[in-house]
């Protein structure tokens, strides 16, 4: 458990491993990152994350301003102000909270503020649901935040630390979401290793978040003047900023890889930065997964391998910016693909990751039979048994079965 | 004339004190001719001074160029566009972070009545409840003037706006205005006051108190700002309209602090009939007798309510 | 991989017991994952939590439908909940009850039973019927899944402090020592 | 509150801030609205007692002090006429701008 882990005097006697839920792992990482300001508002399944943060501050183990704002809209607004005044900032939300936060959320990437936010993913309303699913994160995937999905509690902790480094990198300067599956990762507890504070300090380096735009009386400037319009300098000025934002997103692909490398060197834990290839070397077909579902999928792949099926798994970690090149590289050798989404792309009648993958397949230049599976909606479990069926149905494509027009609903008959 | 003599002394006193201080807005801002908002914000920012961070949510203040356009700015202190909805929250973040670094600055908002009383009210109320150290100045021109003179919850009963138009059926706004400053009193802010540019000395005194109060709590200043364009009166009549609003008790000048309670700073004991005020502008031209009566009754009700609060305060 | 399902009522600490069990296992250098069932954990309402234990890293973050062991920390819960649902043949039951072993009715899948009059002991220790740490001691005794030492280390690193910690350490000990364990003769799995 | 002068504006080039990140503005708008005027204030220097009422109420704050009177800076005066209306000594008249 947490047990004064962050007090340098106590760290010496801390256990080698602790067991904590994903929300607590994120909170511990935030404390290690020494933010200046954390603003919070409770919402299921994120609430325990902000409770852990509040407790860390109340116990004197974290030196940060905690602003209990009156709603998510103000939560992110407070952080925008703090970041413009030079603060390292963090918050967390999900589902309806994200929807309410949308106005400042939509604006953050354009301000180029390196705000870090845990997105404890939750399915969308309606039907009324308080449970996990990726619908909230997928709905905002085009807004311009960097979004990385975690598979394990340890990865939540490590990715949260890396998120600050990635967001604040001068070539990126974009807000980052750490996406962790509501329920299964947020409340699921597992063994994690906590890095030492001194190592984290060295890894993250000096805070310098508002070198480009500051609200400081001694450096007067106007932040976000009216820009654009159809005449004069407007159009060119606006395009310049938009291109800058696109460049930041593309740079993020490189910086995410560099940061994962540096993290592995410093802390000895290596996670695939963009796309993980699991048992892909001689795979004939593969599953494509995202986030907390991946562990069960890997177990299923291992069992299918034992049964002689040449199946592999590709996991997308960085969903925004979409890692087109890395995904194409992973897809190069296979002949059929099953894409498992935990949310719905209503416009395309498939999963959002499936839809994005179709774009990558065009880039690959090789047609590939692929099926869209949708499961785990509103807290439903995607079990090893479910993945066995996904493997069977994907394998059928290999043998000439025509891909279904529309998604295959994993939990339809549970 | 005695009034003139009084004004003479007052104006000279303010001029002698602050006339040399730098106007912290650009020389040229594109407020309408005779814009009361431009007048009050130039005075206010000069008084608050350069150690300030200024928030100007969408409205006439940035609309006239305070935050600038394509690389040009209209303000000499750091200034930003919050959203219409999050001024108080964003400013709270700025102020807290600068305070954390040991910097003493005034975090000031110049917000319109719409962004404060309607869509931005949650953020305002939350920041006031948390006691954020902010000077929140609301420019009340009783509507969304920047977007084309639409109704806000601060628009008074009977007023024509572009969304409460006058026609065969429509006779202007059918509801009374929300009393935002009294709502802020109910938040027990460190300081709450109403002001008018027709009473500059009163405005300056309240600015000074609000600046001090904002160092340790939430200071709220509600300044009535007659809008020549939206209220339909000639630009040169601006101060006259503002003055008549006070002299008819349509607008009352008072201040509140939790310790001292509420008190009138300029009590009008023998008010003009409100019709004299209403006649001064085009937005009330269509009113029938019943409507004028309704407004007169509301003015008296409001006066009685504030009087009651003031009496209770002085008794306490 | 060994899978445990914990049953209790909201407010009794079943979810916390799951995390504590995982901590105890991890304190011994092995791997564990604890997952609560996701509902509205109102005081008194039935709740469940799941724990997976293994010697290597556990990847799946899913619910448990076919547990190796069921632990029920409330004596009356089995009246309203089918606590044995999906239990694997040869499974274990750890039950809080004032009944003697001989009075316990169990399905054929149960091969090992541990019982303890946890409410009485809890009232003795805490003055309140908090049975979760007691039942962890009982689980350790009945299944050998985790050592008492591991659980103690988990408690020491928990949020418990001072008197609360001392009481819970006593509860662990008494849970371990006052549990009656019986291996049942049963049909082969 | 001892300082009543603006600090120098931030210089993004000197700070190494690229011009394609957060939109900022650091150059004061040089726009002067004097050309908006159709009427212009004309001060009767004999009547002016330098009471500063015109200065107090001028929305653009364009009133400047002269040795024995107050006058309007016509680069920024928008010609609203408030000064003429409010002058307690009737020392200001609004007169038509001449064309050309």
Contact A315, A290 (CB under 8 A): yes
User: Which helix or strand (DSSP H or E) is residue A265 part of?
Assistant: helix A234-267
| Shortest CA gap A119–chain C (Å) | 18
Q: CA-nearest residue of chain D to A218?
A: D7
Contact A220 D6 (CB under 8 A): yes
**What's the pLDDT score for residue A10?**
34
User: Which helix or strand (DSSP H or E) is residue A359 part of?
Assistant: helix A352-364
Chain A residues with CB-CB distance to C159 below 8 A: 1-3
**CA–CA gap between residue A403 and residue A385 (Å, rounded):** 21
Asked whether the predicted pLDDT for residue D3 surpasses 90, the reply is no
The structure tokens listed for A16 are: 């080698």
C25: CB partners within 8 A, 6+ apart? C31, C32, C51, C53, C145, C146, C150
Count of structural domains within chain D:
1
| Shortest CA gap A298–chain B (Å) | 44
Burial label, C141 (beta-carbon count in 10 A; 0-12, 13-18, 19+) = buried
Q: Is the ipTM value over 0.85, yes or no?
A: yes
Chain D residues with CB-CB distance to A213 below 8 A: 17, 21-22, 24
Asked whether the predicted pLDDT for residue B27 surpasses 80, the reply is yes
- Domain B2-315 grouped into CATH 3.40.50.970: yes
Chain B residues with CB-CB distance to D28 below 8 A: 26, 72-74, 76
D4 domain residue, yes or no: no
Residue D45, domain extent: 31-96
Q: Any idea what the CATH number is for the domain that residue D48 is in?
A: 3.30.70.20
User: Which helix or strand (DSSP H or E) is residue A163 part of?
Assistant: helix A153-168
Identify which of B53, B89, B127 has the shortest CB distance to residue A215.
Answer: B53
Residue in C80, C21, C10, C81 with CA at minimum distance from that of residue C50: C21
Task: State the chains in contact with B (3 or more Cβ–Cβ pairs under 8 Å).
Answer: A, D
D15 touches chain B (CB under 8 A): no
Contact B53 A37 (CB under 8 A): no
Burial label, B203 (beta-carbon count in 10 A; 0-12, 13-18, 19+) = buried
| Shortest CA gap A177–chain C (Å) | 21
User: Which helix or strand (DSSP H or E) is residue C139 part of?
Assistant: helix C132-143
D64: which DSSP letter? E
**What's the pLDDT score for residue C189?**
45
Chain A residues with CB-CB distance to C19 below 8 A: 1, 19-21, 189
Do B and D touch, 3+ Cβ pairs within 8 Å? The answer is: yes
**What's the pLDDT score for residue A1?**
41
User: Cα separations (Å) of A297 from A58, A339, A386, A395?
Assistant: 40, 11, 9, 15
Contact D21 A217 (CB under 8 A): no
- What is the tens place of the pLDDT at every residue in D21-67? 999 999 999 999 999 999 999 999 999 999 999 999 999 999 999 99
DSSP for B236-270, please give it. Answer: GGHHHHHHHHHHTTSS-EEEEETTTEEEEEE--SS
D61 touches chain B (CB under 8 A): yes
**What does each of the 414 residues of chain A score in pLDDT, given as a tens digit?**
444 444 543 354 556 789 999 999 999 999 999 999 999 999 999 999 999 999 999 999 999 999 999 999 999 999 999 999 999 999 999 999 999 999 999 999 999 999 999 999 999 999 999 999 999 999 999 999 999 999 999 999 999 999 999 999 999 999 999 999 999 999 999 999 999 999 999 999 999 999 999 999 999 999 999 999 998 999 999 999 999 999 999 999 999 999 999 999 999 999 999 999 999 999 999 999 999 999 999 999 999 999 999 999 999 999 999 999 999 999 999 999 999 999 999 999 999 999 999 999 999 998 899 999 999 999 999 999 999 999 999 999 999 999 889 999 999 999
SS3 assignment, position A91: strand
* Domain residue ranges of chain C, discontinuous segments joined by +: 2-183
pLDDT band for position C158 (cuts 50, 70, 90): confident
Query: Which CATH class name applies to C2-183?
Result: alpha beta
**CA–CA gap between residue A86 and residue C100 (Å, rounded):** 66
Domains belonging to chain A, first-starting first, are: 8-204 (3.40.50.970), 277-409 (3.40.50.920)
Contact D19 A219 (CB under 8 A): no
pLDDT band for position C40 (cuts 50, 70, 90): low
D84 domain residue, yes or no: yes
| Shortest CA gap C34–chain A (Å) | 5
CB pairs under 8 A between A and D: 65
Contact A221 D19 (CB under 8 A): no
Chain A residues with CB-CB distance to B103 below 8 A: 216-217
The CA angle A241-A242-A245, to the nearest 5 degrees, is 90
Contact C38, C81 (CB under 8 A): no
**What's the pLDDT score for residue B7?**
58
Contact A226 B91 (CB under 8 A): no
Chain A residues with CB-CB distance to C23 below 8 A: 1, 18-19
SS3 assignment, position A139: helix
């Amino acid at each position: 458990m947490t047990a004064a882990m962050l007090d340098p005097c106590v760290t010496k006697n801390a256990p080698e491993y602790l067991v904590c839920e994903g929300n607590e792992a994120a909170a511990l990482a935030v404390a290690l990152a020494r933010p200046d300001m954390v603003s919070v508002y409770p919402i299921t399944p994120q609430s325990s994350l902000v409770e852990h943060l509040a407790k860390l501050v109340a116990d004197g183990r974290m030196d940060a301003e905690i602003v209990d704002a009156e709603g998510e809209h103000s939560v992110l607004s407070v952080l925008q102000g703090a970041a413009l005044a030079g603060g390292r900032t963090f918050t967390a939300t999900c589902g309806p909270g994200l929807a309410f936060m949308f106005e400042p959320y939509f604006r953050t990437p354009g301000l180029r503020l390196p705000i870090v936010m845990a997105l404890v993913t939750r399915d969308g309303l309606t039907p009324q649901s308080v449970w996990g699913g990726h619908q909230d994160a997928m709905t905002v995937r085009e807004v311009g935040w960097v979004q990385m999905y975690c598979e394990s509690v340890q990865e939540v902790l490590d990715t949260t630390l890396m998120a600050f480094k990635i967001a604040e990198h001068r070539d990126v300067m974009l807000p980052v979401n750490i996406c962790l599956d509501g329920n299964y990762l947020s409340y699921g507890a597992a063994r994690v290793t906590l890095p030492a504070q001194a190592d984290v300090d060295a890894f993250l380096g000096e805070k310098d978040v508002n070198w480009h735009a500051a609200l400081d009386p001694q450096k007067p400037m106007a932040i976000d003047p009216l820009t654009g319009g159809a005449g004069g300098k407007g159009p060119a000025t606006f395009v310049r900023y938009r291109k800058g934002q696109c460049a930041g997103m593309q740079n993020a692909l490189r910086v995410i890889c560099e940061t994962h490398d540096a993290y592995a060197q410093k802390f000895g834990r290596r996670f695939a930065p963009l796309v993980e290839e699991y048992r892909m070397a001689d795979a004939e077909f593969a599953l494509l997964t995202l986030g907390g579902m991946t562990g069960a999928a890997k177990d299923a792949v291992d069992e299918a391998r034992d049964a002689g099926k040449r199946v592999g798994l590709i996991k997308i970690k960085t969903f925004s910016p979409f890692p087109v090149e890395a995904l194409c590289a992973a897809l190069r050798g296979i002949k059929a693909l099953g894409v498992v989404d935990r949310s719905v792309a209503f416009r395309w009648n498939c999963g959002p990751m499936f839809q994005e993958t179709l774009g990558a397949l065009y880039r690959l230049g090789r047609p590939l039979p692929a099926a869209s599976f949708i499961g785990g909606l509103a807290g439903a479990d995607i079990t090893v048994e479910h993945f066995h069926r996904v493997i069977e149905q994907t394998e059928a494509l290999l043998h000439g079965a025509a891909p279904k027009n529309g998604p295959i609903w994993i939990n339809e008959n549970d | 004339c005695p009034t003139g003599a009084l004004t003479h002394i007052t104006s000279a006193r303010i001029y002698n004190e602050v006339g040399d201080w730098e106007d912290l807005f650009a020389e040229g801002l594109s407020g309408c001719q005779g814009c009361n908002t431009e007048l009050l914000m130039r005075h206010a920012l000069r008084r608050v001074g350069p150690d300030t961070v200024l928030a100007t949510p969408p409205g006439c203040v940035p609309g006239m160029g305070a935050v600038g356009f394509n690389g040009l700015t209209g303000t000499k202190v750091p200034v930003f566009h919050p959203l219409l909805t999050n001024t108080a929250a964003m400013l709270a973040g700025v102020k807290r972070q600068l305070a954390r670094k040991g910097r003493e600055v005034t975090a000031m908002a110049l917000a319109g009545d719409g962004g404060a009383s309607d869509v931005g009210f949650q953020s305002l109320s939350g920041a006031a409840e948390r006691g954020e150290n902010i000077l929140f100045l609301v420019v009340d021109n009783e509507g969304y003037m920047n977007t084309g003179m639409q109704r806000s919850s601060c628009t008074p009963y009977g007023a024509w706006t572009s969304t409460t138009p006058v026609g065969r059926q429509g006779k202007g706004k059918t509801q009374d205005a929300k009393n935002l400053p009294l709502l802020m009193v109910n938040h027990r802010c460190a300081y709450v006051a109403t002001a008018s540019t027709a009473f500059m000395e009163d405005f300056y005194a309240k600015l000074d108190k609000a600046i001090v109060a904002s160092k340790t709590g939430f200071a709220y200043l509600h300044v009535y700002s007659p809008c020549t364009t939206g209220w339909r009166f000639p630009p040169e009549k601006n101060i006259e309209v503002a003055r008549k609003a006070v002299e008819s008790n349509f607008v009352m000048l008072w201040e509140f602090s939790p310790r001292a309670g509420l008190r009138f700073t300029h009590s009008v004991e023998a008010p003009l009939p409100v019709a004299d005020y209403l006649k001064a502008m085009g937005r009330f031209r269509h009113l029938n007798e019943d409507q004028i009566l309704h407004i007169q009754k509301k003015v008296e009700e409001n006066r009685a309510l504030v009087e009651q609060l003031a009496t209770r305060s002085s008794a306490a | 991989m060994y899978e445990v399902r914990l049953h209790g009522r909201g407010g009794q600490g079943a979810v916390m017991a799951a995390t504590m069990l995982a901590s105890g296992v991890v304190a011994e250098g092995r791997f564990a994952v604890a997952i609560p069932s996701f509902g509205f954990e109102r005081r008194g309402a039935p709740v469940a939590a799941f724990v997976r234990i293994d010697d290597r890293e556990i990847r799946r973050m899913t619910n448990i439908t076919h547990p190796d062991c069921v632990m029920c920390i409330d004596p009356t819960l089995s009246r309203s909940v089918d606590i044995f649902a999906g239990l694997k043949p040869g499974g274990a039951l750890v039950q809080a009850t004032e009944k003697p072993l001989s009075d316990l009715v169990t399905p054929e899948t149960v091969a090992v039973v541990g019982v303890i009059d946890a409410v009485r002991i809890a009232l003795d220790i805490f003055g309140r019927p908090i049975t979760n740490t007691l039942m962890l001691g009982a689980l350790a005794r009945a299944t050998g899944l985790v050592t008492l030492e591991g659980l103690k280390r988990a408690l020491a690193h928990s949020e418990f402090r001072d008197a609360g910690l001392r009481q819970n350490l006593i509860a662990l000990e008494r849970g371990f020592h006052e549990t009656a364990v019986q291996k049942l003769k049963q049909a082969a799995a | 509150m001892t300082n009543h002068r603006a600090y120098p504006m931030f210089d993004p080039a000197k700070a190494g801030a690229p011009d394609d990140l957060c939109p900022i503005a650091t150059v004061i708008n040089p726009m002067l609205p004097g050309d908006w005027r159709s009427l212009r204030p004309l001060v009767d220097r004999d009547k002016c007692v330098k009471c500063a009422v015109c200065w107090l109420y001028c929305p653009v704050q364009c009133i400047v002090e002269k040795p024995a009177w107050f006058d309007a800076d016509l680069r920024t005066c928008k010609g609203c006429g408030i000064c003429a209306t409010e002058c307690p000594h009737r020392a200001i008249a609004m007169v038509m701008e001449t064309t050309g």
